[in-house]
Amino acid sequence: MPRKMLQFTHLHQRQPEKRGAAERRKDFGEISTAFGASQAGEQASRCEQCGIPFCSIHCPLGNNVPDWLMLVAQDRMEEAYAVSSATNTFPEICGRICPQDRLCEGNCVLEQSTHGNVTIGAVEKHITETAFAEGWVKPVLPGAETGRSVGIVGGGPAGLAAAESLRRKGHAVTVYDRHDRMGGLLIYGIPGFKLEKDVVERRIRLLAEAGVKFETGVEIGKTVSFAELRARHDAVLIATGVYKAKPLGINGADLPGVHAALDYLIAQNRRDLGETVAELDAKGRNVVVIGGGDTAMDCVRTAIRQGAKSVKCLYRRDRANMPGSKREVAHAEEEGVEFVWMAAPEAVTGAKKAEGVRAVRMHLGMPDSSGRQSPVAIEGSGFTLASDMVIAALGFDPEDMPVLFGAPELKVSKWGTVETDATLMTSLPGVFGAGDIVRGASLVVWAIKDGRDAAEAIHRYVSAKSAQAAE
């Protein structure tokens, strides 16, 4: 049934129904049920159709959100999918894991006017799942082959987004990844309760059906030299992401029982994929996760589901200054996580293994260079949290790419990120960069944007090579 827009005056905001916390704690399935057609249409009809769509402006991909909300409200679902997928390679993934409260929904005019934002993420998920159910999502098959070849190093969101765009233009595309599956952090880093693995695998199958070739277990610099990779292809894209854990930097950080967040999350995601993984299980343990970002939230909520005896999140600032999604914090609290705000670790205690985390209370002082108030230790406020499993979730740094690839001429920044010019080309001709390895650890939606942009730059580059060869 077609609906009129601007229905926020009498339709209240409704999020998809969440499963109860007690039920969620028992499995790694997604926590929310999907909108039905009627619910999605009603919630979409709340959109104001703003003249200046702040939702689109604050979306890294510039999604045409008001347009596809209107189409959903009018039950024109196939058109809604066409508009949604025109700017987003993986709308079914972004609808699930984007921090909409910090991006499109957080900047919705209805949110600012206290009516409650349009539930953009849930509607986006509904559009794409409807499209898959109806058979509207097809492999992207090019009209003609260009005869040019592109190699992509990294099968995460940036690499896969670039692969789809390049294949669409008719280029032969091969994606290399050192892991045994494609997907990068979508598969190995993000827990199933946020993104079930079959959602990612479904999209990867579509890319394979479109003709994208995937080679797993390939370590550039070991399995294949970087020079050989460049010789195989007309252009190369580095989209490896960033995997190296930021160091904890306190005494006792090397004790058994102290783990990097990604190692911990990978172990559980492998279990979800059907593998047997004995180590890194929080069952019966007193877990302390150090950090306040989305990765920390993934860790604490994973530990709850593994049956930890207690789970605490230690963060040196307050709730208002926490970098992670406020929704994720709320979900964690509902599931039984205890937050220890305004406290920083000083040491991991224990003689032969982790037994606790010694911490100190903090207060917020003067702003630092980023504008955030700096945490300052309160003298004499030390305390200890009992913990036989400590997880460091302080973020990620790039690996040493010139050394890893055996390419000392590859220029990197002082932070270790790969440097690119305005065309997204690195210091090496024909070698481009995209995603976290260029911008630093960031959101999946930014990686998709970077991958799409890099694909356009690579297309221009190889097209120019073809034109020169034809002269």
- Which tokens belong to 27? 């499995």
pTM of the predicted structure, to 2 decimals: 0.95
Which residue in the block uniquely carries the two structure tokens 């959602």? Answer: 199
Whether CATH 3.40.50.300 fits 246-392: no
Q: Is the pLDDT of residue 20 over 70?
A: yes
Residue 469 has pLDDT above 80, yes or no: no
| Domain boundaries along the sequence of the chain | 21-134, 149-242+398-470, 246-392
Which CATH number describes the domain made up of 149-242+398-470? 3.50.50.60
CATH number listed for the domain at residues 21-134: 1.10.1060.10
Q: Which amino acid is present at 146?
A: T
**pLDDT over threshold 90, residue 359:** yes
The answer to whether residue 471 scores a pLDDT higher than 70 is no
Same fold, 21-134 and 246-392: no
- For residue 5, pLDDT over 90 is answered with yes
Task: Encode pLDDT of 269-312 as tens digits.
Answer: 999 999 999 889 999 999 999 999 999 999 999 999 999 999 99
With a CB cutoff of 8 Å and minimum separation 6, the contacts of 331 are: 31, 297, 301
The whole-number average pLDDT for the span 228-233 is 98
Measured distance CA(332)–CA(195) in Å, rounded:
16
Q: How confident is the model at residue 161 (pLDDT cuts 50, 70, 90)?
A: very high
Coil/strand/helix, residue 374: strand
Q: Residues with Cβ < 8 Å from 223, sequence gap 6 or more?
A: 217
Question: What gap in Å lies between CA 233 and CA 238, rounded to an integer?
Answer: 13
Q: At residue 66, does pLDDT exceed 80?
A: yes
Helix 120-134 to helix 77-87 angle (10° resolution) is: 110
* Side-chain half-sphere CA neighbours of 234 within 13 A: 20
- What separation, in Å, do the N-terminal and C-terminal C-alpha atoms of the chain show? 58
pLDDT computed for residue 294 by the predictor? 94
Identify whether the C-beta of residue 400 lies closer than 8 Å to the C-beta of residue 243: no
- Residue 197 tokens, joined: 């693995």
